[in-house]
Each structure stands twice: as C-alpha cells, then as structure tokens.
Chain A
Amino acid sequence: MHDKTLTELAAALDAGEFSSRELTQNLLERIGALDPEINSFISVTGEQALAAADAADAVRAKGNAGPLTGLPLALKDIFCTLGVKTSCGSRMLDSFVSPYDATVVEKLSEAGMVSLGKTNMDEFAMGSSNENSHYGPVKNPWDLNAVPGGSSGGSAAAVAAGLVPAALGTDTGGSIRQPASFCGITGLKPTYGRVSRYGIIAYASSLDQAGPMARSAEDCALLLGAIAGHDLRDSTSVARGVPDYREALGESLSGLKIGLPKEYFGDGLDPQVEAAVRDAVKVYESLGATVREVSLPHTHHAIRAYYVIAPAEASSNLSRYDGVRFGHRCENPTDLIDLYKRSRAEGFGEEVKRRILMGTHTLSEGFFDAYYKKAQQVRRLIRQDFLDAFEDVDVLMGPTSPTPAFDLGANKDPVSMYLQDIYTIAINLAGIPGISIPVGLAGSRPVGLQILAPHFAEPQLLNIAHQFQQATDWHRQQPAFGKENA
C-alpha cells in the first residue's frame, strides 16, 4: 500500500481493502525500518496517528467519509501542530511544543487526514539541500550520496521513499519545487495568499507559501482544495472562493500556448536536464500544445533581489526568538542583553545567522535605500516580466533546477548554493503559482519540469501537469530504496 497515490488509497479505503488503521500501521512500520537511513522525519507521532486513524475508520463506518478521510500524510516541521514538537529544524525550537494548530493543520485534521509526523527541513526553511538542519542532513532515496533538496527536503524524501503518500511543504524561493524535482515527486507552490500562513513559522512573509507534495498532480489538486482559502487570522490570505481543483483535470490541452523562457535554457543548465525537459515539452506538443520562445529579461536579477528581500524580512521575523517567552535560553545570563545575545547565538545555526546579519545590515541606517528599496523596485520589474509573458502564452515551462540533485557536501559556499535556485526564486517574487513534476532521470537522479501560470490559475496548472501524467509514467517511477520492504 506504500506505493499508491492518495486517490488510489481513498478508493481502497472505500472498497474496504484495508482500514485507515492498517494503512497507518503499515506506514509507521516502514518509517521505523527505513527512516534511520534517510533521516526524513524529526518527529514521528505514531500514537496520535493511530488515534486519528481509528476516528477516521469510525467516520467511514457511519458512511460519512469525505475524500481525505483516513488518508495519511506528513507535515514539514514548520507547521505549528498542537501538542507536538515544532522545531523548524532549529536548536532554537528544539523544546517548543506548539500550543496551537496552524490553519492548514486544522483544516487537514477536520478533513480526517492522519498526520504521521513532522519532517526534516533546513533550519527556518533557509537552504536548498536540507544540510542546514539541526537534526542532521536528509538523504535522497534515489541516491543516498545525494541531497534531497531543500528546504522541504524531509517531506520530499519521505514521499519518494514511500513512507507517506503525501506531505505539506512551504516554498519561499523554491523550497517545495526544488526538492520535489530532486526526489522525483510532484510539488505545487500556490499563488501567494492562496493558502493561510497562520501558524506557519515565518521566514520571509511576503514570499512564504505552503503547498502539497505528492505522487501526482491529481493528489496535489485534492490537497490544495483542502488547505486553500481565506483566513481571518492571516491578513495576507486572499478573500477569494476556492474552486474544485479536480473538476478541471479532464480538460484537453489542444490549443494550449506554452512559452519557454530563453533565460531558463542558458549557461549552467545540465545537458541531461535540458534533454529531459525538452522531451517533456514534446509530449505537450503531441497533446496539442504549441510552443514558442519567450523572454523574462530580469531573470538574472531575481536571485540578487531575493537575497536582499528575504534576509531583510527574516531578520525582522526572527527577532521574536529572544529566550524569554519560548525557545532556547542560554545558561546563567548576566543581564538582559547577554540573555538575548547568547540565547540567539546558541539557538541559531550558521546559515540563519548569516541571513539575519545580512538583513540587519541592509535594513540599517544608510543602506536601506540602496538595498531594500532598490530590490523591491526590481521585484516589480520581475513580476512585470511574467505579466507580459502571460499576455502571449498560457503557461511557461522550463527546468525546475539547473542540475539534478547534487552530492551531499558539494556546495559549501553560500553564494554557489544560492545560485541553485535560479529558476524557482523569481516565481515567489512575482507571487505566481508553479509546479514541479518528474519528467526523466539523469543517471540515477530525477529531473523535474517546472510549469508556471498566472496568479490563481492553479486549476489550469494542475490540469496541465495531470495531462502529462496521464500520457507518461515518470511520476510512477520509484527508487530502489525500500522496495524490498513491503
């Protein structure tokens, strides 16, 4: 049962092939047997999971099951979860047991989903390899020498390894799409404001967005329908109805206009990645789409603008960790300033401190206009590139990442690590939705195709990904890892 999609599992539960308790137990056993090898979970919440599964089975027995009742998933450890340790991958929050649920957690448990635990991640979602976690790196199930990507690396690896059929991640500069690409799964970053951020530990609030990571676009549609929507507790969530994302999944792609941004096929793109992406585009042509080249002229400024804006917002968001109300506190502080300074120095890891220092510097007197204001102006130009492109084409396609998953320890230098996100980062600045789907292998490591659509065009975006998955079976490929464990 570990290799089925959510949609298939729901059908099996309906048909009485197994119960939610049996499914949950099976996956908890797989996690126990396999996760020590890949380290994709920070906390496994077996007891709560079995209780939720029993409750779901009882609901089903009464004939009241919804589409998600009794289906298992995992949550990135950035989602506040009532009564469960919520660490955000940081020593700072190692002792933090959340006193409340994030809105998305509340919605999924109301829908009857069963959370198996909290997945590993780069500390405070800052990273592209999951090597910045206080709880150690995650390994890629496709190749244990490779990173799973980041920052939602644990979520991606857990789905790829068949430990859970789906997981939630968050994406501030590519943190759902890049690990989905590296681990051969489907991952959607919705439009900014589509999903409530309430209870999601903040990194860069004008960029952060939560989304589903799963085995198919259809499953992502199912999950997005459950988590999307306006929330009074998040003033940036958008007051707009939630469509039935599965309803659009049958539409033909005949006449679809695809744009290939020429900047996404330039220097630094791995030839095997390019070949797999171009083959995927040919599949779309065979489904009736037309393809043309387009330009997003400010692409190369996106990483530069991001590494001003995101650290600036992070330096402000992370000022709440003061060692007083919650989180890590140093031993024997001599005075209040010493308490703050040593608690924060001990609680935060190197990359988090680097970004806080960067943000504090660029926001400080004398530097604000040159950096933050300038970056926000360039951000508008970056968004305009996409709005202009969508005048001519329906969607954009390109590689999710310039390379397949790289080796653990390969990118020691922060700037070279930042450049990994060259194709994903502009999407967060523009606020548009993007999805990564598996379209091939480079050796043993998966390749992802990124598809981008206008604001709130998730129904079309999911259908376009789904049609590819109806015509091909890349999304059904699985790593050898864990295959012998039934």
Chain B
Amino acid sequence: MSLEHADVKRAAHLARIALGDDEAAHYAADLGRILEMADQLQAVDTEGVAPLAHPLDATQRLRADEVTEGNQRERFQRCAPAVENGLYLVPRVVE
C-alpha cells in the first residue's frame, strides 16, 4: 500500500522523532516501497497458522520476585546527560 505524507508524520510523532516536511516526503517514498514488498505476504495462505513469536516456541521463564541487584544509582547516572542531586534533569513538565 502507498503511504501518505500524513502517515509518516503520524508515525514520526508516535516514535518521538522530529521530522521536517522534506524528510517526511523522502521517507514516504521509501516506506511506500518497503510496504509494497511486505504487502506480498498477503498472497500466503496462513489460515489456521499460529503466529511464531519465538523461534523455539519457548515461553517466558519466571523467577521468584526477589531483589537481586544492588542500588548503583551513582554509577548509572554517570552516563546521563544532565543530573543533579541524584535526579535526572529534564525540562519543566508541570508549571
């Protein structure tokens, strides 16, 4: 199926990626052709076929709900772009 400019802008908003109009037009053309390729899957008869999410059909293993990791706040915050007093800094959310 072809992809409208508005579809790309919508996806970009959902994915939280800033996208100019020129870029959106460029991606619309590319994504349209990739979707055209994907659309050929519709020709496959999948009646009664269960979706395969894990190649070994494994199910999620569970473990006891116990704390296994220590607190390493300082170490992890060293990777952050902006922190203060152990908190991550972001623009003001609530006025």
Report A's interface with B, CB cutoff 8 A.
Answer: 96-97, 99, 191-193, 206, 232, 235-236, 238-239, 298, 301, 303-305, 307-308, 315, 319, 322-329, 333-342, 344-345, 348, 353-354, 356-358, 360-362, 364, 370-371, 373-381, 383, 414-415, 418, 428-432, 455
Smallest CB–CB gap between B2 and chain A, Å?
A: 12
Q: Is the CB of B44 within 8 A of A381?
A: yes
**B60 CB-CB contact with A under 8 Å:** yes
- 11 new A-B contacts, CB < 8 A, other than A99-B78, A308-B41, A335-B93, are A99-B76, A193-B58, A239-B61, A303-B37, A319-B15, A333-B90, A341-B17, A361-B10, A380-B52, A383-B55, A415-B34
Q: Is the CB of B53 within 8 A of A376?
A: yes
Smallest CB–CB gap between B89 and chain A, Å?
A: 9
Q: Is the CB of A361 within 8 A of B72?
A: no
Q: Is the CB of B41 within 8 A of A304?
A: yes
Chain B residues positioned under 8 Å from A348 (CB to CB): 17
Q: Is the CB of B27 within 8 A of A99?
A: no
Contact with A along B22-66 (1 / 0, CB 8 A): 000001001101110110111010100111111110101101000
Chain B residues positioned under 8 Å from A339 (CB to CB): 90-91
Q: Is the CB of B38 within 8 A of A431?
A: no
- With A307-B37, A344-B15, A344-B17 as given contacts, are A357 and B27 in contact (CB-CB < 8 Å)? yes
Q: Is the CB of A381 within 8 A of B79?
A: no
A–B complex contacts, Cβ < 8 Å, 18 sampled: A97-B78, A99-B78, A235-B61, A238-B56, A307-B37, A338-B91, A344-B15, A344-B17, A348-B17, A354-B34, A361-B3, A361-B11, A361-B31, A376-B51, A376-B52, A377-B49, A380-B51, A383-B52
Specify which of B34, B44, B61, B93 is in contact with A358 (CB 8 Å cutoff): B34
Q: Is the CB of A307 within 8 A of B81?
A: no
Query: DSSP class of A's interface residues: helix, strand, loop or mixed?
Result: helix
The 8 A-B pairs at the shortest CB distance, nearest first, are namely A431-B55, A376-B51, A326-B79, A377-B46, A329-B81, A380-B52, A345-B18, A341-B18
In the bound assembly, the distance between CA atoms of A469 and B38 in angstroms comes to 39
Smallest CB–CB gap between A430 and chain B, Å?
A: 6
Which residue from chain B places its CB closest to the CB of A455 in the assembled complex?
A: B56
Specify which of B46, B55, B88 is in contact with A192 (CB 8 Å cutoff): B55
Q: Is the CB of A360 within 8 A of B11?
A: yes
**B80 CB-CB contact with A under 8 Å:** yes
